[in-house]
Structure 1
Amino acid sequence: MDVDLDKEVYTTFEAAKICNANITSIKNWIDKGELRAFRTPGGHYRIERKVLDDFLNRHCMPNPFAERERKRVFLVHSNPERIDELALQFGQQHDYDSSDNAQQALLTIGQWQPDVAIVDDRLDGIDLSGLCTTIRENRELRPVCIIALHDRDEEYSAKLREAGCDHVISPVSDEGGLHEAIRRALL
């Protein structure tokens, strides 16, 4: 793609390239109110970067803007200081946050929209299966990679996968698997 992703305003032609669509689709989305645009004095459409970024995210389309931004890692764990270990392992080019409170964690996931959410089932008050289902039902949160940590049986693991969990890991026996799942999610 030969479009400057650092611009603040795009033409319909540039927006079409960014969306991997044709100009007619862009104009149809504008006409339907799906994509907000303004007109120049000459009558040409222009689309702001932040509007285009939001449009791509809302429709779960590949977003070249997001690929350029820092990835977000969120840890829901009884020991939130473990996030410092992850930051050391995966580098300071990402943003990190954590919580040991189930309600605060749910709010943070909804507001911060991390790229990776690592959730420990052993945290008091967490319904991991319900959390996975809720995230997958929310259009803005679908791209979040959910990594579940639990030490229950395989039947529970299957239930979590069915609810939409991307990776199910035993925190006691598979620390390497956790790091590999995070690494893949941050690619």
Structure 2
Amino acid sequence: MPSTRTKEILTTGEVAKICSVAPRTVSKWFDNGSLKGYRIPGSKDRRIPMAQLVRFMKQHEIPLDGLQSGNTRVLFVDTASESLDVLAKVLSEQAHYAVEITHGGFSAGITAEKFRPHVILVDLHLDTIRGEDVVKLVRSTDDLQMSKVIAMSSKLTDGQAGALLSQGFDGYLRKPFHARSVIEQIEKATSFVY
């Protein structure tokens, strides 16, 4: 079964596979300082942190589609726990997503740091955090640069939905929704990255 955690540290061979280049090309990038990382003490082996690789790939316009590893990780930030538990089960069993649920702003930040979700679905009407703050946090955190943020609301007009996209959200869902529409929105958001 594929791992649901993204690898934090990569070998030159793994980086080469992701970037579709030869391992010696990755070694050159490392040796000339373009790609940051470190050497294993007492060895010539190089290691590259994932955050450095993502930064390098963006800087050099290398497609990020090689970064997909394991199941798509989805984080829900919402208070409606009973309906979310059912949805999480459906997403896990039918779409094979790794799903985490959190109910507040503080716990969402901690869970996002550990879980490194590909997609964060956040309810816009939480008492503890505003959706725009989640977008700002994700965009300003190196390890979450790849995460997509989808807004959820039961009170969205078409104008408000359009405004969400201009605020940095990658998509939106109107509540109540079916599992199929959630999967479609997740697939649409991740298809641009992976």
For 2:151, the equivalent position in structure 1 comes to 148
| Max Rg structure | 1
Corresponding residue pairs, total: 172
Whole-Å Cα distance in 1 between the matches of residues 174 and 10 of structure 2? 47
For 1:35, the equivalent position in structure 2 comes to 37
Q: Aligned ranges for residues 68-147 of structure 1 at < 5 Å?
A: 68-92=69-93, 93-147=96-150
For 2:171, the equivalent position in structure 1 comes to 167
Deviations, residues 32-91 of structure 1 (Å, cap 9, x unaligned): 2702234877xxx4234xx36454345456374x53323321111112343432333223
| SS in structure 2 at match of 1:140 | helix
Q: CA deviation at 1:117?
A: 0.9
Change (3 A) 1:25 1:96: closer
Sequence identity, in percent? 21
- Please list every run of 5 or more consecutive structure 2 residues that lacks an aligned counterpart in the other structure: 1-8
Q: CA deviation at 1:9?
A: 8.2
| SS in structure 1 at match of 2:186 | helix
Q: CA deviation at 1:116?
A: 1.5
Change (3 A) 1:184 1:81: farther
Q: Which has the higher contact order (CA 8 A, sep 6+)?
A: 2
Q: CA deviation at 1:21?
A: 4.2
Give the AA of the match of 2:37: L
Give the AA of the match of 1:56: L
Q: CA deviation at 1:29?
A: 2.5
For 1:179, the equivalent position in structure 2 comes to 183
- Please list every run of 5 or more consecutive structure 1 residues that lacks an aligned counterpart in the other structure: 1-7
Give the one of 31, 53, 57 matched to 1:56: 53
2:51–2:142 contact (8 Å) kept in structure 1: no
Change (3 A) 1:56 1:78: same
